[in-house]
Amino acid sequence: MAKLKTKFVCQDCGYESAKWLGKCPGCHNWNTFVEEIEMTGKQTRHTFSGVTTAGSKPQKITEIVSQKEPRITTKSKELNRVLGGGIVAGSLVLIGGDPGIGKSTLLLQVSSQLAEKELPVLYISGEESIRQTKLRADRLGVKSDLLYILSETNLLAIANHIEQLKPSFVVIDSIQTIYREEIASAPGSVSQVRECTSELMRIAKTSGVPIFIVGHVTKDGAIAGPRLLEHMVDAVLYFEGERHHTYRILRGVKNRFGSTNEMGIFEMKEEGLREVMNPSEIFLEERSQGAAGSTVVASMEGTRPVLVEIQALISPTSFGNPRRMATGVDHNRVPLLMAVLEKRVGLMLQNQDAYIKVAGGVKLDEPAIDLAIAVSIASSFRDIPTRPDDIFIGEVGLTGEIRRVSRIEQRVQEAAKLGFSRVFCPENNLDGWTPPADIQVVGVKCIQDALNIGLVR
């Protein structure tokens, strides 16, 4: 008989301890340790009966024949873009997002699209009954005969259903509700999530069936469970957006079969999620004309250029320490750029509150947005608006220089397509390409040059 042994496991990072600790030594979070039962000795492990146990031997890399991974394309071009061109056979994809953001809706729509292509799909819901899933399917207009719904949380039963049905696509909603009988821990614990994900990964690789699993998120927005969960899967997608707004952003942060940091835009409608083919128009449609503190930047999201408005509000402070707040950009970048403006340009910003926001709920993290942030801060401080058809692109150094950025051609072409007439970019980016005829490209060396040309009444 196997002996029972208790241990304490951090539910955030998976750190194990023989006794309860108030603060985790691994992730330094408080009150995250939960007691779990560990079985020692000989254990009986239930495995998927279709596993092949043929031995493998090392091969020379020059003798391995490379081939393109077969993909299953869906009707959603935005999802295909984020996945790198479609769903790869035998892949394990993890989707995380806030409660009610639309994860189940997206996967049910994708399942319906694949079933309409005469591909059997198995949708496994561990949180809802079959009738609840049917109500959502009726609202979305899902009526395919090849879409099978299963309400089950036992991993062994799920593996048997996959083996018998042999579907072309499987959805697990969600991984925190699935459990293995031989593990004494509660569903959703670190041990259960780790073991169930490992078993699902083995099922996907041995059977060639792509599996999408839904993961809960913590209050900080990260996927709940050990960080190992994100390392095990082939792709990690985050479904972002405000619950009180209609637009949703599907962002890829890991992809073994395509580009990382790709972004897909969806709009939540009564009949489900609808694709947004031109997100730049959506982000700029409510922009105020002639308002000080507003600039537009062309940011690269994976392989797609997106035009986004950056807003800044500079006002005198009423306290000893001025406030620095940022939404959509790194909050540490704002005081850095304000220090550059104060030292290199001469703007007295040390007694000013600064509020920076990226309109539309997008999160930008590339250095090419530095120039747009700096110009918007100077525009609000001087109360001088920029031209509505100007775009600012460039990385700002600590000495005030404007450094080159990547993929300047795609950024300028996207600006020209939406009717902008002038682009400010680093002077070192002007060589080696020809800009479109209907747009003026202005090369600047330092932040002072951009302000002298861009902030003129």
Neighbouring-strand partners of residue 30: 23
d(CA 77, CA 406): 25
Neighbours of 81 (CB within 10 A): 23
Is residue 294 annotated as involved in ligand binding?
no
H/E element, 412:
helix 408-417
Nearest to 175 by CA among 183, 187, 163: 187
Beta carbons within 8 Å of 314's beta carbon, 6+ residues apart: 293, 349, 352, 353, 354, 355, 377, 380, 381
Which 8-state DSSP code applies to residue 365?
-
99 annotated to a ligand binding site:
yes
23 is in an annotated binding site: no
End-to-end CA distance of the chain: 84
Q: Taking the CA atoms of 207, 212, 215 and 221 in sequence, report the sign of the dihedral they define.
A: positive
Q: How many residues does the chain have?
A: 457
- Cβ partners under 8 Å of residue 179, min gap 6: 153, 154, 155, 186, 187, 192, 196
Residue 179 DSSP label: B
Query: Is 102 among the annotated ligand-binding positions?
Result: yes
**Nearest by Cα to 352 from 380, 328, 311:** 380
User: Shortest CA distance to 123 belongs to which of 185, 165, 181?
Assistant: 165
* 98 annotated as ligand-binding: yes
- Asked whether the beta carbons of 70 and 225 are under 8 A apart, the reply is no
Provide the phi-psi class of 253: left if phi over 0, else alpha when psi is between -120 and 50, else beta.
alpha
Distance CA 198, CA 220 (A): 25
Nearest-angstrom CA–CA distance, 97 and 237: 9
b (16+ CB within 10 A) / e for 314-352: beeeeeeebebebebbeeebbeebbebbeebbebebeeb
Is 432 labelled a binding residue? no
**Binding site members for ATP:** 97-104
**Binding site members:** 97-104
